[in-house]
Amino acid sequence: MKTRQLGNTDIQITPLIMGTWQAGKRMWVGIDDAETTRAIRAAFEAGITTIDTAEVYGEGHSEQIVSRAIGDVRDQAVLATKVFANHLKYDQVIEACDRSLKNLKTDYIDLYQIHWPSGSFASEVVPISETMRAMTDLQQQGKIRAIGVSNFSKAQIEEAAQYGRIDSLQPPYSLFWRQVEKDAMPYCTAHNISILAYSSLAQGLLTGRFDLSHQFEPGDHRSKNRLFESDNYQRAQQALDQLRPIAERKQVSLGNLALAWLIAQPQTSAIVGARHAEQANENAGAVEIILSDSELQEIDAIGRLVTDYLDDDPLMWHFT
């Protein structure tokens, strides 16, 4: 799989990135450790050698599963993890990084990201200068290779960049969720900041496997996703009906069509999870899909049947 440069670094990332929120189990149902371990390994063997996790995914459990899956090939993988909003004081960042290093069984993290801005989820407000001081110290010590942010607005990225080089932004971004295009994307492209899109399949909605009657199991956080609310969900189903003929014409799945569109956007790689090895192998095929300019425009217009009706709130879920 051809790789891309991460920001201004010498780190090479894959256009598709293995997402491992589900490996942490928390806020998911029906997750099996052995299956997710096999899925992560299958993604790696299919060429998806960049893997994204976070300390908050199961309080380190996801990081441990990642290590279990690719520990013997760690030198061939690019590992990205995140420090959560409740650990943004200087000493807390250092301690969180050390925990992640231990969980991942590695002596360096390729990309260390601030998961949410300070103050998110009622966390204590910490000056970004303090958090970035810890991040840059970790970088100078060789514990991390690059610094990224997640769920930051353009203004928040600009402020963080005053205290150190930011090489990536991880926003929610898919054909059905595109607020980043209006806010941070122009800044990122102008400053060579890679965009690592999460929820790139709109939490499975873009695969077409959920019909109008679908009900999520208790405990599945997707029931709080605003795209699954009645009016948005109906518009999404209508958009999917228009995407299906394109997928059939290209002889690809709906999900892979959506991923191919996403990784064709400026400086964007797509984080995509998988519960099973078969899903990981299927996802990897998205990099082989070639979309013409007219096809990209056609898909873009169909996506707007959903996104034009969304407000500017960047948070995808009703977590409160």
Rounded Cα distance, 88 and 69, in Å: 29
Rounded Cα distance, 106 and 95, in Å: 15
Rounded Cα distance, 35 and 40, in Å: 9
**Residue 291: CA atoms inside 13 Å, Cβ hemisphere, count?**
23
* Of 238, 246, 245, nearest in space to 292 by CA: 246
Question: For residue 319, what pLDDT is reported?
Answer: 61
Q: Which domains does the chain have, with CATH numbers?
A: 4-204+255-289 (3.20.20.100)
Question: For residue 25, what pLDDT is reported?
Answer: 82
Question: For residue 219, what pLDDT is reported?
Answer: 66
Question: For residue 221, what pLDDT is reported?
Answer: 64
Please give the share of the chain, as a percent, with pLDDT higher than 70: 97
Sign, CA torsion 223/268/26/73? positive
Rounded Cα distance, 262 and 180, in Å: 12
Per the annotation, the verdict on 163 as an active-site residue is no
The one catalytic residue in 57, 173, 198, 233 is: 57
Note the pLDDT tens digit of each residue in 144-171. Answer: 999 999 999 999 999 999 999 999 999 9
SS3 81: strand
Low-confidence ranges of the chain (pLDDT < 50): none
- How far is CA 202 from its chain centroid? 11
Sign, CA torsion 128/316/293/259? positive
CB 275 within 8 A of CB 35: yes
Element (H, E) at 33: helix 33-45
What is the maximum alpha-carbon separation in the chain?
A: 54
Question: For residue 294, what pLDDT is reported?
Answer: 98
